[in-house]
Amino acid sequence: QLRANVSNAGLPGDFREVLQQRLGELERQLLRKVAELEDEKSLLHNETSAHRQKTESTLNALLQRVTELERGNSAFKSPDAFKVSLPLRTNYLYGKIKKTLPELYAFTICLWLRSSASPGIGTPFSYAVPGQANEIVLIEWGNNPIELLINDKVAQLPLFVSDGKWHHICVTWTTRDGMWEAFQDGEKLGTGENLAPWHPIKPGGVLILGQEQDTVGGRFDATQAFVGELSQFNIWDRVLRAQEIVNIANCSTNMPGNIIPWVDNNVDVFGGASKWPVETCEER
């Protein structure tokens, strides 16, 4: 439009030609600028699309991982193929079982453990309920033998596990006459009675791996802490037969606890305790 106005205007020829040249240059500059802006717009669109795709890909990966966790999938070879490592004698390394116990009139508790701690391996596990911190405890403290506490009553067990090797430990108990048994690597090494007889195990407490509880879920004492590794901690609501315990210890059967099974998503670790892949039977 400016060109048309210049052409029709009553201006000297030379001046009109110069003006038209300037206008032509201005037009070319404007066209170049428009082209640059179009290129920048295209690049920005591509970058935005790529960023959006990357963001969506990351979100999808996170959602997939959340779904896997919700379904109980494990980072280990199988959900039970792991151990809890407690390498230091402190009052802040421990594992916690998410599930709690119902009221029990009998139980069998089995686990694999490895420790060379001295004196005493400490507390492989403890179960505390309101009003009774020592509802069920397995402990080897100082130069004392391994002890099983139920409702704060004590039985000394003839178990010897502080040699740095994996051992399979089982303890059974029934409220009837307070009968108990102790097994190491499938062999019954001790039995007795009158351990908290006629006392039902109280429900709704807290199960801790590696520490002795002075209050429910807390007040740990470093001198009573377990040092070593634990795996396959299982609890049944009955006294297992001796042959069943032999089969578990020699790895000829896999029998998860019907009350507390050893699975990855049921065990949390705290304070620097860690979970590692392990096949206890192969490692043994």
pLDDT for 164-198, tens place per residue?
A: 999 999 999 999 999 999 999 999 999 999 999 99
Domain ranges of the chain: 12-73, 82-277
Note whether 221 and 214 are within 8 A (CB): yes
C-alpha Rg value of the chain to the nearest Å? 36
The pLDDT value given to residue 202: 96
Give this prediction's pTM.
Answer: 0.71
204: left (phi over 0), alpha (psi -120 to 50) or beta: left
pLDDT at 73: 44
Parts of the chain with a pLDDT under 70: 1-11, 64-76, 280, 282-284
Sheet holding 274-277, edge to edge: 187-192, 179-184, 166-174, 106-114, 228-236, 82-86, 274-277
Length of the chain: 284
Distance in angstroms (rounded) separating the CA atoms of residues 115 and 88: 11
**8 Å CB contact between 73 and 252:** no
pLDDT at 118: 83
pLDDT given at position 217: 87
Tell me whether the omega of the peptide bond preceding residue 119 falls within 30 degrees of 0, making it cis: yes
Nearest alpha carbon to residue 90 among 215, 220, 267:
220
Q: Look at the block and give the residue holding tokens 């151990």.
A: 83
Q: Dihedral angle at the C-alpha atoms of 70, 71, 75, 77, nearest 10 degrees?
A: 160
pLDDT of residue 136: 96
Supply the pLDDT for residue 25: 85
Q: Enter the CATH code of domain 82-277.
A: 2.60.120.200
Strand order in the sheet with 153-157: 153-157, 146-150, 132-140, 122-129, 206-209, 94-97, 267-270
DSSP three-state, residue 187: strand
CA 140 → CA 14, 137, 182, 247, distances in Å? 110, 10, 14, 26
Phi-psi region of 245 (alpha: psi -120 to 50; beta: other; left: phi over 0): alpha
SS3 at position 193? coil
Please enumerate in sequence order all residues whose Cβ is within 8 A of that of 124, keeping only pairs 6 or more positions apart, or say none: 111, 113, 138, 139, 169, 209, 210, 226, 230
Q: Which of 132, 139, 116, 153 is nearest to 221 (CA)?
A: 139
